[in-house]
Chains A and B, each alone.
Chain A
């Protein structure tokens, strides 16, 4: 049976932009883990939706930023941490220009707005206020983030990139303090277009809480073991924030009959019937963000072409403050040939899937571990590893499953007596980076 290599790129790109002539700011494309599906059986496949945002070429064009810095000044911050945090704050301030807004909230058990939201032009006065901060007291994290949000909200209607940066080194112990509560606060803030970036310093902060807050509000999350890294981290964060090209990104995936969305791998999203909705608060220039959606496809006849999904990506162009959108159709075909199916497998997509699966597994295992269910955590890791290997085998790419071996190591580590607090934090922040495609720092 001589089957010539058939080009199976069946992706039709339908671009629809409000500014007709210009190339879209965000390029939306889709990939499948296999371009050809085996015929005659119900199966699952993964759709990868890529969002590629171009760099801002002219830095002067960048959208203005509305930043609120929320600094922990509780007793545990005293010493080098607070010194470095202050330096980092000043570093961040210096990267802003007069079009940007800056607010500073310092908190212990009290919450104090040291710099109410204002133009960053007044930097000398702001710097003086930052230098005055001294560390003492407890940690009213909820109130502080709320206050930060309130400061940012003062310019909410305008075309700013809104961002709250929270720095903490300890457990929240005043006000609502569970990861769930803070996560919900993050989710509520996301609806207003506010993202919270969380920076955890040292080994004593609550990584679950900090990760949840960042996750649900679509900010970044950083784990900083050494306080001397703080200025660098702030610089990285500001690099992202100042490079925001799109805001309020909504990805709508609509599947026809016969295709059923099963789950979203890595990200938070909502599946309702045959529709999937994913939201991101912003896209940074020069960055690739993707989402992985697993769908179940009903059995098809060989050589039958089917439409898997209609993907629509809507966003606000941060440079022009105009809404734009791009649409893509996901089309595939069935084949009776196992060989052809195996050949059409896409290692790149599968790699992303494995990385995200691992991240998910680690997050879940950490949750279980923290809840005191150690055995279940270990089982979770082991099962997920087995699943990944099985899946890769089925795709004909067994070599790809090699990284999943790390899960077995993790399982062994979880099984041992005590999981180091610093290890937990690095696991959490690593998973976060993978799931959110956050840049390395």
Chain B
């Protein structure tokens, strides 16, 4: 079970990390998108303001040019000059002369000579009768941007004449007579009208009404084409109606502009509107889309990789299990004939009638059979432990008896290996609850190791100590010991200390690993320590009384 848990945990962590990266990336992208959109809006607004500025400047310039001309009109024949001017100039719709005491002098209020004149009289009746003020707009109401202001100043400067030297005498004479002048935006039924006027020193006012149709006809050609094919600009009048548009959008459905900028006080309440076509994606949105896609691909790639690894892990685990099962089965199959062989060998050994030679052969057969049995037992234990199928039979075991019995069976081997046994058992009876077979297996493995690797040490010390709720069995030899670098790894499965000491010894690296696992399963611990004065010392510590619930 632990085998699959780790890859799953790793995979989950990977998933969380990938999701976290994805979320973070999306969050950052969103921020970036918003920033881009804000920049886009700002740029658009600036461009619109520039367009509005152009329109404003165009109107202001025409107005100022007309105003200058108006101030220079000669005093005598004023009405005739005004009329001729009107007939000649497309920008002039009507002309008038007004005096504070007589009211309107021209056109004659009682006898308009054309429909246009009567409409004019009606339109400005309020003004000429004195009900409305002549100047409503001062330049400060909607201050134009600095940029526009600067351009305007520059235009003025370029047009300015030397004040003293080349100013023609007659125009100077005419202008000096002008006391005041101004302009007046006038809203009447069908929209905006502009009136320019000048006042002479005698209080008479004269002026012109701008022909808005002609002015607009020029303005629509001034309106520039938007750079993007998805944008539409429109000049909107004071009622929000489209006067002219540039760009593809069909505005007849009356949609509201996404953004609008006031033209300025030259055309009060007029606006430049901005419309964007649905198909057009703002730069930020496409960035988000692309970024999101990349992030998703990244996350998916990470998860796929993780899943692949998990799958691989599970597969190899599965393979390992199958192998263990196989080993277990084979071991089991081996054990039955082995037991028979051993039994008959022992029976033959007991028969005294053999000659020495055959007696010796039988002894070899018996000891090799025993070795094989230990090996098979280890293999069986190994596969059981691997599969978690190892069963323990807990019972009260007298440790002294167990150790003695175990040593009895091994006495011959120890003797043959030339190892002197130094057994130190406590005098008192010592019994704990444990699995005697497992414990015996552990002892056998340790003794086996000693026989295998520490035969040169001539001594094997076996000590049973009771200490503070624990029981410790120490197996110590005077062999070459275990190099420090290997002192921990010796308990790993299949690990062998690869030195001249061990290479000539057979083994499969299972013994210590199984021993430690068994001891741990019994609730104890198997540790190694270098023995003072050379050699190795393995300690089995077991609790005296096992906790009730105890694992199997």
Q: Which residues of A contact B247 (CB under 8 A)?
A: 110
Q: Mark B184-221, 1 if CB is under 8 A from A, else 0.
A: 00000010000000000000000000011110111011
- A277 and B250 CA atoms in complex are apart in Å by 44
Query: Which among B213, B221, B250 is the interface contact of A188 at CB below 8 angstroms?
Result: B213
Residues in A neighbouring B221, C-beta threshold 8 A: 146-147, 150
Chain A's interface size range is 20 to 34
Contact A270 B89 (CB under 8 A): no
Instruction: Please indicate the chain A residues that have their CB under 8 angstroms from the CB of B220 in the complex.
Output: 111, 142-143, 146-147, 175
The listed residue with most B CB atoms (<10 A of its CB), out of A111, A149, A178, A191, is: A191
Instruction: Find out whether the CB atom of A110 lies under 8 angstroms from the CB atom of B89.
Output: no
Give the contact stretch, choosing among B238-246, B486-494, B525-533: B238-246
Contact of A109 among B90, B214, B250 (CB under 8 A): B250
Q: Are A142 and B216 in contact (CB under 8 A)?
A: yes
Contact with A along B113-147 (1 / 0, CB 8 A): 11000000000000000000000000000000000
Measured between alpha carbons, how far is A138 from B245 in the docked complex, in Å?
12
Answer whether A145 and B217 are a contact pair too, CB < 8 Å, given A140-B245, A270-B113. yes
Give Cα A137 to B213, complex, Å: 24
Q: Contact at A174–B89, with CB atoms within 8 Å? A: no
A137 to B251 alpha-carbon distance, docked (Å):
10
Q: How far is the CA of A138 from the CA of B220 in the complex (A)?
A: 17
* A176 & B248 in contact (Cβ 8 Å cutoff): no
Question: Is A26 part of the binding interface, using a Cβ–Cβ cutoff of 8 Å?
Answer: no
Kindly state the separation between the CA atoms of A196 and B387 in the bound complex, as whole angstroms. 102
A residues near B212, Cβ cutoff 8 Å: 184
Question: Known: A143-B220, A185-B214. Is A175-B243 also a contact (CB below 8 A)?
Answer: yes
Which residue of chain A is the closest to B217 with respect to CB atoms?
A: A146
Q: Nearest chain A CB to B194's CB is how many angstroms away? A: 14
**Once the chains bind, are A189 and B90 in contact (CB under 8 Å)?**
yes
Q: Which residues of B contact A192 (CB under 8 A)?
A: 90
- State which of B213, B218, B244 has its C-beta within 8 Å of the C-beta of A181: B213
1/0 contact trace for A104-148 toward B, CB 8 Å? 000001110000000000000000000000000110101101110
Asked if A272 CB lies within 8 Å of chain B CBs, one says yes
Whether A271 sits at the interface, judged by CB under 8 Å, is yes
* Residue B91 interfacial (CB < 8 Å): yes
Given contacts A143-B220, A146-B221, A270-B114, contact A188 B91 (CB under 8 A): yes
Tell me how far the C-beta of B253 lies from the nearest C-beta in chain A, rounded to whole angstroms.
Answer: 10
Q: How far is the CA of A86 from the CA of B203 in the complex (A)?
A: 59
Contacts of B63 in A (CB 8 A): none
Would you give the shortest CB distance from B328 to chain A, in whole angstroms?
A: 84
Chain A residues, CB < 8 A from B87: 191, 277, 279
B93 close to A (CB within 8 Å): yes
Tell whether B252 is near chain A: CB-to-CB under 8 Å: yes
Q: How far is the CA of A110 from the CA of B233 in the complex (A)?
A: 11
For B249, the closest partner residue in chain A by CB is A109
Q: Quick check: A175 and B251 within 8 Å, CB to CB?
A: no
Which residues from chain A contact B245 at a C-beta distance below 8 Å? 109-110, 140, 143, 174
What residues on B are CB-neighbors of A277 within 8 Å?
A: 87
Query: How far is B84's CA from A270's CA once the two chains are assembled, in angstroms?
Result: 12
A175, B113: Cβ atoms under 8 Å?
A: no
Does B88 belong to the interface (CB within 8 Å)?
Answer: yes
CB of A173 within 8 Å of the partner chain? yes
Beyond A184-B211, A188-B91, whether A174 also contacts B251 by CB under 8 A is yes
- The closest CB in chain B to the CB of A147 belongs to B221
Bound Cα distance A150, B216 (Å): 12
Q: What is the chain B residue whose CB lies nearest that of A145?
A: B217
Residues of B within 8 A of A140 (CB): 244-245
Majority-rule SS of B interface residues: mixed
Interface size on B, residues (CB 8 A): 29
- Contact with B252, one of A138, A149, A181, A191 (Cβ below 8 angstroms): A138
> A182 vs B214: C-alpha distance in the bound complex, in angstroms?
10
Chain A: which residue is nearest B212 at the CB level? A184
Evaluate contact between B90 and A191: CB separation under 8 angstroms.
yes
Chain B, range 342-361, C-beta contacts under 8 Å to A: none
A271 and chain B: residue at smallest CB distance: B113
With known contacts A110-B246, A143-B244, A147-B220, A174–B252 Cβ distance under 8 A: yes
Contact B90 A175 (CB under 8 A): no
Q: What distance in Å separates the Cβ of A254 from its nearest Cβ neighbour in chain B? A: 14
B250 x A175 contact (CB < 8 A): no
Whole-angstrom distance between the Cβ of B104 and the nearest chain A Cβ:
15
What sequence of 0s and 1s flags, for each residue 173-212 of chain A, a beta carbon within 8 Å of any chain B beta carbon?
1111010111011011101100000000000000000000
Interface string of B58-91 (1 = CB under 8 A from A): 0000000000000000000000000100011111
Chain B proximity of A399: nearest CB distance (Å): 34
Task: Identify which of B91, B114, B243 contacts A176 (C-beta below 8 A).
Answer: B243
Task: Flag if B244 contacts A175 (CB, 8 Å).
Answer: yes
Whether the Cβ atoms of B217 and A188 lie closer than 8 Å is yes
In the bound complex, CA of A420 to CA of B91 (Å): 38
User: In whole Å, how far is A73's beta carbon from the nearest beta carbon of chain B?
Assistant: 14
Q: Which residues of B contact A279 (CB under 8 A)?
A: 87
CB distance from A383 to the nearest CB of B (A): 20
Cβ distance B126 to chain A, nearest Cβ, rounded Å? 21
Instruction: Chain A residues near B88: list those with CB within 8 A.
Output: 191
CB distance from A251 to the nearest CB of B (A): 13
A184→B113 contact, CB < 8 A: no
Q: How far is the CB of A128 from chain B (nearest CB, A)?
A: 22
Of B114, B247, B250, most A-chain CB atoms within 10 Å: B250
A residues near B91, Cβ cutoff 8 Å: 188
Q: Which of A66-81 contact B (CB under 8 A)?
A: none
Q: Is the CB of A146 within 8 A of B113?
A: no
Interface 0/1 of B427-445, CB less than 8 Å to A: 0000000000000000000
Chain B residue contacts of A182, Cβ below 8 A = 213
Report Cα–Cα, A125/B14, bound state, in Å. 66
Closest B residue to A144 using CB positions? B220
Expressed in whole angstroms, the minimum distance between the Cβ of B109 and any Cβ of chain A is 15
How far, in Å, is B191 (CB) from chain A's closest CB?
A: 9
Smallest CB-CB separation from A183: which chain B residue? B213
Question: Using a CB-CB cutoff of 8 Å, which residues 247-306 of chain A contact chain B?
Answer: 270-272, 277, 279
* Chain B residues, Cβ within 8 Å of A174: 242, 244-245, 251-252
Question: What is the bound-complex CA distance between A173 and B251, given in angstroms?
Answer: 10
Known contacts A191-B88, A270-B114, A271-B113: A110-B248 contact under CB 8 Å? yes
The smallest beta-carbon distance between B413 and chain A, in angstroms, is 106
Of the candidates A138, A271, A272, the one whose C-beta lies within 8 Å of that of B250 is: A138
Query: Which of B212, B214, B220, B246 has the most chain A CB within a 10 Å cutoff?
Result: B220
Question: Shortest beta-carbon distance, B193 to chain A, in Å?
Answer: 11
What's the nearest-Cβ distance from chain B to residue A268, in Å? 8
Instruction: Point out which of A137, A146, A270 has the most chain B C-beta atoms below 10 A from its C-beta.
Output: A146
| A145 contact set on B, CB distance < 8 A | 217
Closest to B221 in A: A150
0/1 interface trace, chain A 143-178, chain B, CB 8 Å (1 if under):
101110110000000000000000000000111101
Are A146 and B218 in touch, CB under 8 angstroms? yes
Q: Closest residue to A75 on the B side, CB-wise?
A: B250
Query: Contact: B90 with A176, CB < 8 Å?
Result: no
Within 8 A of A (CB), among B388-412: none
* Contact B252 A184, beta carbon cutoff 8 Å: no
Q: A137-B250, A145-B217 are in contact. List 13 more A-B contacts (CB 8 A).
A: A109-B251, A109-B252, A138-B252, A143-B244, A146-B244, A147-B221, A174-B252, A175-B243, A180-B190, A181-B190, A185-B216, A185-B217, A188-B90
Nearest 6 interchain pairs by C-beta: A188-B214, A146-B217, A188-B90, A184-B213, A185-B213, A150-B221
A-B residue pairs in contact (CB < 8 Å), sample of 19: A110-B246, A110-B248, A111-B220, A138-B250, A143-B243, A175-B216, A175-B220, A175-B242, A176-B213, A176-B216, A180-B190, A181-B213, A182-B213, A185-B214, A187-B213, A188-B213, A270-B113, A270-B114, A272-B83
Which B residues have a C-beta under 8 Å from some C-beta of A? 83, 87-91, 93, 113-114, 190, 211-214, 216-218, 220-221, 242-248, 250-252
